[in-house]
Amino acid sequence: MTVVPRPDGTRERVSPPISTEAEPFWDATRERTLLVQWCPACDRGIHFPRAACPTCLGDVLEHRPSTGEGVVYACSTMASPGNPTMSGREPYVVALVDLDEGIRMLTNIVGEDAAAVAPGDPVRVAWEPLEDARHLPVFVRIKA
Amino acid sequence: MIATDPFRARTAIVGVADAVDPSGELDGTVRSLEVRMIREALTDAGLTIADVDGVASCISPGWAPSLELAEYLGIAPRWTDSTQTGGSSFEVQVQHAAAAIAAGMAEVVVVVYAATPKSSFKRGTGGFGSRQGVLAPTPSGEFEVPYGMRMPMGAYALAASRHMYEFGTTSEQLAQIAVDSRTWSSLNPRARLREPITVDDVLASPMQASPLRKLDCCLMTDGAGAVVLTSAERARDLRRPPAYILGTGTCTTHAMVSEMPDLTTTGAVVSGADAYRQAGLGPSDVDVLQLYDSFTITILLLLEDLGFCPKGEGGPFVAEGVLGRGGSHPANTTGGGLAYTHPGMFGIFLLVEAVRQLRGECGDRQVEGAEVALAHGSGGVLSAMSTVILGTEATR
């Protein structure tokens, strides 16, 4: 899976906290694997990971590997940073991506052609290293 | 009028007050402003603090807003409400208060708000933009904040992006909403921004979070306001003409924008339908609109979801200036959050202006013959929707 180093001269991103329910999700990012929490009873993906399925409230849940591919649902270019750790990256793209597994994630679209991204564009997961050996899932456009 | 709903016109807003200054700043602490608003709204109604047996407040420096406020006021209310839904908290609290009064659980309720983000920021004591880089272990901290979305405008920009993609809505159409706001604020001596603007002015303002530009975004000012509610029976004997609560509705759909089911449709579909049903009215009965304009896109979505135009047609609907002075759907007659004031939560000001329009107190910006007003709060990131339909004596 693609590794996208953070841009030269920028800071480490603010470190995402790890909730109990999302420990498998974050652990898998150390191997650059994207997991989707899954409710077998409903046969549905869940994001963000939680203690019970938001459809049936069942608590027998598992995690499945994602294809890592999806489609941009909505996107916006930030003209200035949304928090101090993003300083120097602007302008950058924040997007909602609908994964093939039927879940939606907030993320960044990165790469040379990120600025031209639009809703409907196909994208694939890429990984930005975090200082604690986790990786943050971001997305790059899939070339036509 | 159909009067089948047991809550229709059983209660009324009988006192209002707000504090707004063209400088965007107010003197006094948040608490002192709250007390001043309560005093002024009670005076407006012809009531005193001794009449108050219910208190609603959604923010405090401590742990229990309505408790701390009641303590400060030196009263022991038998009804208390600290509901927090962001900028729509006040519409939600009015709904709760109206139900409580109609059920006999309270008789006189005050709903109050004050915030001083602009002057606090200048003093270096917090305010907007003071958030630090250490994240709380919340879903937002874990799955949104690391991506650097500007809040809240980034979330609204995503909604605008999707609306443009699905329906062909344009930046020019959104800009007209901001232009219309100035046709009202130019008549309001207390408004922060009074200069008329054009669509080109909006398009020339700096991009913030595409497709939203600076003039698509609400202000950041100090501000305060309060409303007083009581029963319809008691309202008849008070100083001002009552603004009867004809219908209310609330719906929350998410807290984080990444959990919003459909970025082009809000919970106002539900809250509006509930309010119309209770009121026995529909969109065509509304004479004046007070819609939460955190951003231009907010207004567009609310017009569609509250039935003023079909889903997806908000862009063409607003393009001809229907919301401005002289338009078919006069909206945000103060100038709204875009031009009047926006201290972080605008919902109280929507209610205050709706009541003043129904009383005919608005001078140059009065909508002639306004009998039915719709105030709609939107809280969070299009998260919490709450509709309050108010009417004059003639609508009972």
**Cα–Cα distances in Å, from B274 out to B260, B269, B271, B306, B348?**
21, 9, 5, 10, 20
B381 is a domain residue: yes
Domain count of the fold of chain B: 1
Q: Which of A49, A112, A38, A106 lies closest to B148, judged by CA?
A: A106
Nearest by CB to A76, which of B135, B146, B209? B209
DSSP string of B1-18, one letter each residue: ----STTTTSEEEEEEEE
What does the alpha-carbon distance between residue B320 and residue A14 come to, in Å, rounded to a whole number?
45
Q: Which of B189, B332, B248, B323 lies closest to B7, judged by CA?
A: B248
| Tokens encoding B52 | 């108050």
For residue B206, give the chain A residue with the closest CA.
Answer: A79
Band (pLDDT 50/70/90 cuts) for residue A144 is low
What does the alpha-carbon distance between residue B220 and residue B61 come to, in Å, rounded to a whole number?
20
Residue labelled with tokens 């106002």:
B268
pLDDT at residue B127 is higher than 90: no
pLDDT tens across B161-194, in order?
999 999 999 999 999 999 999 999 999 999 999 9
What are B's interface residues with A at a Cβ cutoff of 8 A? 131-139, 141-151, 154, 157-162, 165, 206-212, 256-259, 263
Band (pLDDT 50/70/90 cuts) for residue B134 is low
pLDDT tens across B98-107, in order?
999 999 999 9
What does the alpha-carbon distance between residue B340 and residue B189 come to, in Å, rounded to a whole number?
9
ipTM value: 0.97
Distance (Å) from the C-alpha of residue A22 to the closest C-alpha of chain B?
A: 9
B206 is a domain residue: no
Cα angle B298, B299, B305 (rounded to 5 degrees) comes to 90
pLDDT tens across B228-256, in order?
999 999 999 999 999 999 999 999 999 99
What does the alpha-carbon distance between residue B212 and residue B159 come to, in Å, rounded to a whole number?
10
Domain that holds residue B330: 11-122+217-395
- Name the 3-class secondary structure at B164: helix
Predicted confidence at residue B160, as pLDDT, reads 98
Predicted confidence at residue B295, as pLDDT, reads 98
pLDDT at residue B132 is higher than 60: no
pLDDT at residue B124 is higher than 80: no
| Tokens encoding B326 | 């002289």
What are A's interface residues with B at a Cβ cutoff of 8 A? 13-19, 22, 47-48, 73-86, 89, 92, 94-96, 104-108, 118-120, 136, 138
Contact flag A77-B146 (C-beta cutoff 8 Å):
no
pLDDT tens across B209-220, in order?
999 999 999 999
**What CATH number is given to the structural domain containing B63?**
3.40.47.10
- The strand ranges marked E within A79-121 are 92-99, 104-110
- Name the 3-class secondary structure at B169: coil
Distance (Å) from the C-alpha of residue B144 to the closest C-alpha of chain A?
A: 6
What does the alpha-carbon distance between residue B47 and residue B362 come to, in Å, rounded to a whole number?
22
Phi then psi dihedrals of residue A60, to 5 deg: -95, 95
Contact flag A14-B145 (C-beta cutoff 8 Å):
yes
Q: Which of B160, B370, B344, B378 lies closest to B271, judged by CA?
A: B378
pLDDT tens across B254-313, in order?
999 999 999 999 999 999 999 999 999 999 999 999 999 999 999 999 999 999 999 999
Q: What count of CB pairs under 8 Å joins A to B?
A: 119
B258 is a domain residue: yes
